[in-house]
Structure 1
Amino acid sequence: MKKISLIFSALMAFLTVSADDARIVRTMNFDWRFHAGDVAGCEVPGFNDKGWQSVDVPHDFQISQPWVPPAKDEKADNSDAASNVKSRLSSRGFKEMGIGWYRKSFTPDASWKGKRIVLDFEGIMLVGDVYLNGERIGGTEYGYVGFEIDITKKLKFSQENVIAVKANTQKPENSRWYTGGGLFRDVNIIVTDPQMYFTRHPLYITTPVVEAGKASVKVQAEIACYLRTNKLKVNTKIIDALGNAVYDVTKDIDFNRGQKINEHPIDSITISNPHLWSCEDPYLYKAQITLLRPDGSVADMVTENFGVRKIEYSPEFGFKLNGKKVIMKGIANHHTLGALGAAVYPRAIEKRLQMLKEFGFNHVRTSHNPYSKSFLDLCDKYGFLVVDELYDKWLTKFAGGRTAWENIWQYDVPEFVKRDRNHPSVVMWSLGNELQTYWDLPYADWGVTAYRLQKVLLNRYDTTRPVTVAMHPRGRNLKTDSLPAPLVLETDIAAYNYRYMYFPGDSKRFPHLMFYQSEANTAAMGPNYYEMDLDKVIGLAYWGMIDYLGESHGWPAKGWTQGVFDISLEPKPIAYFLRSIFNENEPIVHIGIIDKDDNTVWNDVKVGTQTMSDHWNRKEGSKMSLYTYTNADEVELLVNGKTIGVRKNDRNNPKVRNKIRWDNVAYQKGNIEAVARKGGKVVARHKIETTGEAKRLAAVADNKDWKADGMDLQHVRVCAVDSKGRRVQTSDNKIRFEVSGPAEIVGVINGNLASDELTVGNSRSLYKGTATVILRSKKEAGKVTLTASADGLKTSKTVMLSVAE
């Protein structure tokens, strides 16, 4: 009897861990056909799409379109034509609005028959409609949130099926920034057991207790079950970063047969000596939750990364992570990715996060919409704190424009929260941006009721983070003009764009308020950080730190130019000023030479900064003004080794702290050097030299682990260099690119947003001596050779290897 029992136990153990017939997630990102413009009848299976373009997802169909400049004779009047021109000028990147169609043919796997089959879209920009075999089966009214469609009963087996997607960017005024258009995020097919399965975004993992030596982890799951049973058997496995199971238990969960779909508390776990997630050490655990059939076989399995961490907010200290005061040092940017437009490539996101981390950032506000899941996965990995934002204005025209905003928020909020709530990086929810001054918001009370309704629904799905709305406090209480807007007093966090100077007064009147500068401008960089009470505020997010398409301040600029990194990700001199602030313990000094002033005003705020450069190829006899950015005690400036002087860093004056101005510096061919000292010792140097004539091209690839998965990217930075290998910033040669091997060019970019060159193709001019070409791998591994050539310069050949996963 004992032997039989042991054999049965072994068999049950085998059945429990075998997941051969658990869920299948298959990418649908590859081999689509695309057509720009509306086409009648193209959703029908028999439609001939052979003349259409072959594309892979993610795909932004606007990025390859020509620029649409304003006509010279058009004036800014009140006509519809002029309004559209102005809207394009200021917002949507000088691209024509329109429709794009996608078609994909596929034959379902025979093993899927009898299963539950779901088509999953992470987003369609800006609104979209989905057809299967000619029938409209679903769509989206707000392209930044995902959705799924159950196609179990509509799919045809043993024959070809056709998915068709119509993506519409809507009118120019339906967004205040460049959105891109099309299937810009992942598309998947998900196959599960039809009778027992986990629903969409089923897990809710929290860490309610985090103490010295132990932490509690609670797991909840939404499960669908159509079997005649009163128990659900669920296995919970917690796996550490090394792959070790720190918890592995199977339990029976009570099940009410009258509620076929319901949320169930799965387990409450204690982890001894947990490895905590933090910005410096973003340690991740994995929860693997398995739903078992009554015979012990696997019906469904889902996994989710999570972090063990404790977050606290208080008017006394602002924000703490794991009991330690942390200042959020952040960026608020739109979701687009430079040359790639809106297309979501994880490697492009990772490259940006790595750069931001190097310069001292620890925080991102997702302005003004949910970013991709891959973005949050990478924030978890790299230790960024995220303020996760759902909307811009609560107005129909900014939420897709096809149906009233009042009809979509109750669907968007659950999708938004359930998808993102397990990410340790997400530490605050934001429901909107700069909306409290609009009387035409729903319910006509300056947003108060709309906020209350959304927050109640949000808290239905998560109560572990505070909820806010980013406000532009120039719109104060209209009756007094001295008190905060009514919406401020409703939110958990008082989030002010730009108006940090209101924090002290509002804090005295309302001591319970906690303050976060949800947008800060580059023009006031330094004061808008140091003039806050850093012991008490939560932190800040600098607006538009990476230049982007859209929100141009005038043709020929195609977008925002006030960042500290240009659109090709080259740091501008002012980036080192920010680095000196955010990386207090890293000695920094950097020279920034003032080329001209920019007095641009945007959103009632001066955002223009001085245009600067950091090269030493100047006109003989010229004099210039410059800054040395430093967090050291003092800087000595030398030209060709001769001292210009020594100046102190006035740390007691937030208006000039870490930036020392030098005027009337005479140019002499050779070099200029800044030497920073702390406590009398040299801690940092920055020298720039007069370069010779450009002789050749030099290229550097950034991805040593380039995966041959059809999605991974290689950014190759190409520079013109002189005979000594120094970058020649005055070079503007046009570079031609050729690729051989399993890769394709998906983007070409330099830092010049006034250029009329497109960000697609196989050529790009140098700007300040550099340009970047972006390669997308194919699904086969192999050697890739990139050849970069230009008239008058020696050609560069770069050999890279893409490797199988």
Structure 2
Amino acid sequence: MKRTDLNRGWTFRENTGAFASLLGAAPTRVVDLPHDAVLAGGRDPGSENQGNNAYFRSGAWVYEKTIDVPAQWRNRRVALEFEGVYRDAVVKVNGAFAAQRPGGYTLFHVSLDPYLRYGEENVITVEAQAHNDSRWYSGGGITRPVHLLVGPLVHIAPTGIQVTTPEIDDELAVVEVAVPVVNGSITTATTDARIEVLGPDGALAATGTLRVSTLAGETQTGRRRLYIQAPQRWSTDSPALYTARVTLGSGDAEDTAEARFGIRSLRLDPIHGLRLNGRTVNLHGACVHNDNGVLAGACIAAAEDRRVRLLKAAGFNALRSSHNPMSVAMLEACDRHGMLVMDETWDVWTDAKTTDDYSLAFPEWWERDVESLVAKDLNHPSVILYSIGNEIPEIGTPHGARRARTIAEKLRSLDSSRYVLNSLNAMMAILDELAQMREQAGQGSDADSPAEGADSGDINTAMADADDMMSAIMSLPEITDKITEAADAVDILGHNYADVRYRIEHEADPNRVIVGSETFSTRIATYWRLVQELPYVIGDFTWTGWDYLGEAGIARPIYSDDQASGMGAAYPYLLAGSGDIDILGDRKTISLYREVAVGLCKKPVLAVQRPEHFTEPIAPHSWTWTDSVASWTWDVPAGSPVTVEAYADADEVAFLVNGAEVARTPVGTDLPFYAKADTTYQPGELTVVAYRDGQELGRTSLETAGPVAALKAEVEAGPVRADDASLAFVPISLLDAAGRLNPAADRPVTVEVAGPAVLQGLGSARPSHEESFLSDTFTTYQGRALAVIRPTGIGEVTVRVSGDDLGTEVSFTVEP
């Protein structure tokens, strides 16, 4: 079916309900999709979902779009494709109910034919709402793109063609193209299809034909095997993509469809691990949530592509979509950039985690969600794993294990070419037992260590540190029995925070293949060593690769003046703080440590803990890295005490301040590849020198920046086009006279846009604030901010940035 983007010019308002609207509808405004309605609602310390949703308000909204429907469409079939509406979408056409979809991340289609008025304007209405239904910031409204599909009566199904590569060797690849043909007429139809496959260079690689007969109202799938000589394999290093084009019928009855795909093979076993095209690949993975930083929940393709590119540049080769189906745009970016994908289904099944979450709809909708997931993913070579759920509470029960098997078999029936796993938090399987242990602990215990305490019931002792507590609980023998059936239902056992179980699982079942589906970023050195040593452990997915909105302050450094109780932070905290990369796309010091720990960086790396907190120890917290910055510019008096850090694959490091050695310390005393020392802050130059066996391996320096003398704004490389998928990213930084970043003199900056574009978002990575990403003024954090510009037409765009008597401007051209 012909596909047209339907993202421009929707009207938007709050949904006050039918009776309240009699007194006057809420004010409307025009928005372009994708759009996050929650962002405009603002934040409130008394909000329904509290820190889970970054203290943003809940809401209900109405979107409307008027489309012209020509009279000749009477002999066509018309549908809408929604890539995702958060949440509880209700679609109406000319006021008549047409469809419902409760899942907020699920792609779905709506047939418009029964409701259209031909030769007239028609009104599409979409209602959505978001309440206490997520454990992280979800956004709300039509957060993913919408497309209008129009085709002849006999047409290719809206889900499109499906391409698989069942047989591959160096000489030849078999490409099987499945064409689902829908007969929307009242007679039997016989239709011919032409199939072309284009190579990565655009040249014709294979052709074929197909004839399909269908009864009235019937769908038949035609399949054709084509053969490509000397195929180029898709891999993480060389993501070669082919294109399959199908033309069904001819003339006025012609329909077309296109799909990009890759030729690659997968194998899995506990001896060689995961093999891609015959070579073992260890998954250096990152969990990512759905939001796009200053854009919040709006899923605009350019932002998804940017995240994938920056995560790949930081050393990751795999992403886990936590905890919902990945967007089409991000899948396409992963295909282009060679990033492997674990696509996840849900965060809940039938046991709720919040009061209004998807458990209310799961029993009725799960099967259709799985069908949508596979239809979306099947052509994408980046997708190698399906996760059937995250930390499902009922997984350790017979009914939960049975459901796991049912979901896994449903997935396999739709796509047997990929592997299925469940992302278990094994502690969930023994919640009842843990409650009993706590009762016993309350009656007294003489356990001396977390592990001993866990064995004897002293969970309170184990909980003194989350990491030790997790390890102690995860090693309990009760867990093995509880999770066995759920583990047997899948191809790969995904363990969240349970590296202690890797060898236990292997001893219990040598055929088991395991992945660390969610892990503490602070322990990457230990996890990666296990991945390298244990062939049955195929990878590690850190929590998280990219910082996110919601779960406010879960990974913040906790000092004595912290106002919150428990893991979350008090208002106005906004960010989780756990990402290797912050919401602007800049790498944090944990990312620099990771690069050394996994062997991707041979030079030593420098970081400095914030000197203003020198006398305050950070409370132990497993998601929290040191409160450090890669900077030697601080707003403290010279001579102030400070802790300096080095990350190095070395025996020892020496720290030098202005050329004089101030400390020499072994590496690996506290953590692998980590060293630290106390010194005093003296403006100038901080240097670290790494040694092995007394020989210098390398050195790195940080210089003190002078007073801010300039604002810098630059447009990131890449074409900006006049379409719904494009954005221009403009990083803003505070520089001294020598062009060095000054992270210690933050100030508000104002952004103005002239030309065919609008300011879509502006913000910084400051974890706690009360500013709005929708404002044209925002305060920098550590010397940086980011403006995101959305084109509205073709032509020259100028972005002006000003702040504290400083200013700069940058221009770019929006291309057709």
State whether residues 308 and 330 of structure 2, in contact with CA within 8 Å, keep that contact through their aligned partners in structure 1.
Answer: no
* Residue matched to 2:330: 375
Superposed displacement of residue 345, structure 1: 0.9
* Residue matched to 1:620: 638
Q: Aligned partners of 1:492 and 1:350: how far apart in 2?
A: 30
* Residue matched to 1:599: 619
Match of 2:137 among 178, 189, 202: 178
* Residue matched to 1:470: 423
State whether residues 711 and 777 of structure 1, in contact with CA within 8 Å, keep that contact through their aligned partners in structure 2.
Answer: no
Q: The residue matched to 1:530 in structure 2 has which SS? A: helix
1:230–1:751: structure 2 CA closer, same or farther, 3 Å change rule? closer
* Residue matched to 2:597: 581
Root mean square deviation of aligned Cα: 2.6
Q: Aligned partners of 2:660 and 2:380: how far apart in 1?
A: 54
* Residue matched to 2:38: 62
Name the aligned partner's letter for residue 657 of structure 2. Answer: V
Q: Aligned partners of 2:660 and 2:785: how far apart in 1?
A: 34
Q: Aligned partners of 1:218 and 1:363: how far apart in 2?
A: 26
Q: The residue matched to 2:402 in structure 1 has which SS? A: helix
Between stretches 667-676 and 323-332, larger displacement belongs to: 667-676
* Residue matched to 1:798: 810
1:523–1:42: structure 2 CA closer, same or farther, 3 Å change rule? same
Deviations 1:34-54 (A, max 9, x none): 11242428999xx99895111
State whether residues 574 and 592 of structure 1, in contact with CA within 8 Å, keep that contact through their aligned partners in structure 2.
Answer: no
1:256–1:759: structure 2 CA closer, same or farther, 3 Å change rule? closer
* Residue matched to 1:292: 249
Superposed displacement of residue 490, structure 1: 2.0
Where do 5+ consecutive residues of structure 1 fail to align? 1-22, 71-83
1:704–1:412: structure 2 CA closer, same or farther, 3 Å change rule? closer
* Residue matched to 1:135: 96
* Residue matched to 2:780: 766
Match of 2:374 among 417, 420, 435: 417
Match of 1:234 among 193, 208, 212: 193
Superposed displacement of residue 622, structure 1: 2.1
Superposed displacement of residue 337, structure 1: 0.6
Superposed displacement of residue 576, structure 1: 0.7
Q: The residue matched to 1:481 in structure 2 has which SS? A: helix
* Residue matched to 2:536: 536
State whether residues 633 and 683 of structure 2, in contact with CA within 8 Å, keep that contact through their aligned partners in structure 1.
Answer: yes
Map 1:597-676; keep pairs closer than 5 Å: 598-599=618-619, 601=621, 606-618=622-634, 619-631=637-649, 635-644=653-662, 656-659=671-674, 661-676=675-690
Q: Aligned partners of 1:629 and 1:332: how far apart in 2?
A: 23
Deviations 1:616-648 (A, max 9, x none): 134311232222123467644322122346666
State whether residues 206 and 219 of structure 1, in contact with CA within 8 Å, keep that contact through their aligned partners in structure 2.
Answer: yes
Where do 5+ consecutive residues of structure 2 fail to align? 434-476, 553-567
Name the aligned partner's letter for residue 513 of structure 1. Answer: R
State whether residues 80 and 147 of structure 2, in contact with CA within 8 Å, keep that contact through their aligned partners in structure 1.
Answer: yes
Name the aligned partner's letter for residue 40 of structure 1. Answer: A
Whose helix fraction is larger, Structure 1's or Structure 2's? Answer: 2
Superposed displacement of residue 153, structure 1: 3.2
1:684–1:803: structure 2 CA closer, same or farther, 3 Å change rule? farther
State whether residues 737 and 787 of structure 1, in contact with CA within 8 Å, keep that contact through their aligned partners in structure 2.
Answer: yes
Count of matched residue positions in the alignment of Structure 1 and Structure 2? 743
Deviations 1:717-739 (A, max 9, x none): 11111111111111111111111
Deviations 1:470-490 (A, max 9, x none): 000224568851515131222
State whether residues 476 and 483 of structure 1, in contact with CA within 8 Å, keep that contact through their aligned partners in structure 2.
Answer: no
Name the aligned partner's letter for residue 724 of structure 1. Answer: A
Superposed displacement of residue 788, structure 1: 1.1
Residue 179 of structure 2 is aligned to residue 221 of structure 1: yes
Name the aligned partner's letter for residue 429 of structure 1. Answer: Y
Q: Aligned partners of 2:89 and 2:17: how far apart in 1?
A: 15
State whether residues 32 and 104 of structure 1, in contact with CA within 8 Å, keep that contact through their aligned partners in structure 2.
Answer: yes
Superposed displacement of residue 682, structure 1: 6.7
Name the aligned partner's letter for residue 596 of structure 2. Answer: S
Give the structure-1-normalised TM-score: 0.87
Give the structure-2-normalised TM-score: 0.86
Superposed displacement of residue 509, structure 1: 1.0
Name the aligned partner's letter for residue 98 of structure 2. Answer: I
* Residue matched to 2:75: 114
Q: Aligned partners of 2:143 and 2:361: how far apart in 1?
A: 23
State whether residues 747 and 773 of structure 1, in contact with CA within 8 Å, keep that contact through their aligned partners in structure 2.
Answer: yes
* Residue matched to 2:562: none
Map 1:296-307; keep pairs closer than 5 Å: 299-307=254-262
Q: Aligned partners of 1:119 and 1:135: how far apart in 2?
A: 15
Name the aligned partner's letter for residue 519 of structure 1. Answer: E
State whether residues 674 and 685 of structure 1, in contact with CA within 8 Å, keep that contact through their aligned partners in structure 2.
Answer: yes
Map 1:541-552; keep pairs closer than 5 Å: 541-552=541-552
State whether residues 738 and 788 of structure 1, in contact with CA within 8 Å, keep that contact through their aligned partners in structure 2.
Answer: yes
Superposed displacement of residue 699, structure 1: 1.1
Superposed displacement of residue 390, structure 1: 0.7
Q: Aligned partners of 2:288 and 2:359: how far apart in 1?
A: 25
Name the aligned partner's letter for residue 243 of structure 1. Answer: G
Superposed displacement of residue 327, structure 1: 0.6
Deviations 1:496-553 (A, max 9, x none): 0010111011101111110100001123232222244353311011012322111111
1:151–1:610: structure 2 CA closer, same or farther, 3 Å change rule? same
Q: The residue matched to 1:511 in structure 2 has which SS? A: coil
Superposed displacement of residue 163, structure 1: 1.1
* Residue matched to 1:88: 50
Q: The residue matched to 1:408 in structure 2 has which SS? A: helix
Match of 1:349 among 304, 312, 316: 304
Q: Aligned partners of 1:333 and 1:123: how far apart in 2?
A: 17
* Residue matched to 2:226: 269
Q: The residue matched to 1:124 in structure 2 has which SS? A: coil
1:643–1:203: structure 2 CA closer, same or farther, 3 Å change rule? same
Q: Aligned partners of 1:217 and 1:357: how far apart in 2?
A: 28
State whether residues 395 and 404 of structure 2, in contact with CA within 8 Å, keep that contact through their aligned partners in structure 1.
Answer: no
Residue 583 of structure 2 is aligned to residue 567 of structure 1: yes
Match of 1:590 among 605, 616, 622: 605
State, as a whole percentage, how many aligned pairs show the same letter: 26
State whether residues 265 and 278 of structure 2, in contact with CA within 8 Å, keep that contact through their aligned partners in structure 1.
Answer: yes
Map 1:745-760; keep pairs closer than 5 Å: 745-760=759-774
Match of 2:165 among 201, 207, 230: 207
1:682–1:267: structure 2 CA closer, same or farther, 3 Å change rule? farther
1:600–1:694: structure 2 CA closer, same or farther, 3 Å change rule? same
State whether residues 436 and 446 of structure 1, in contact with CA within 8 Å, keep that contact through their aligned partners in structure 2.
Answer: no
Name the aligned partner's letter for residue 11 of structure 2. Answer: R
Q: Aligned partners of 2:608 and 2:479: how far apart in 1?
A: 41
Deviations 1:657-704 (A, max 9, x none): 322x12122322211122456898877543211111112211121143
Superposed displacement of residue 559, structure 1: 2.7
Residue 283 of structure 2 is aligned to residue 323 of structure 1: no
1:706–1:421: structure 2 CA closer, same or farther, 3 Å change rule? same
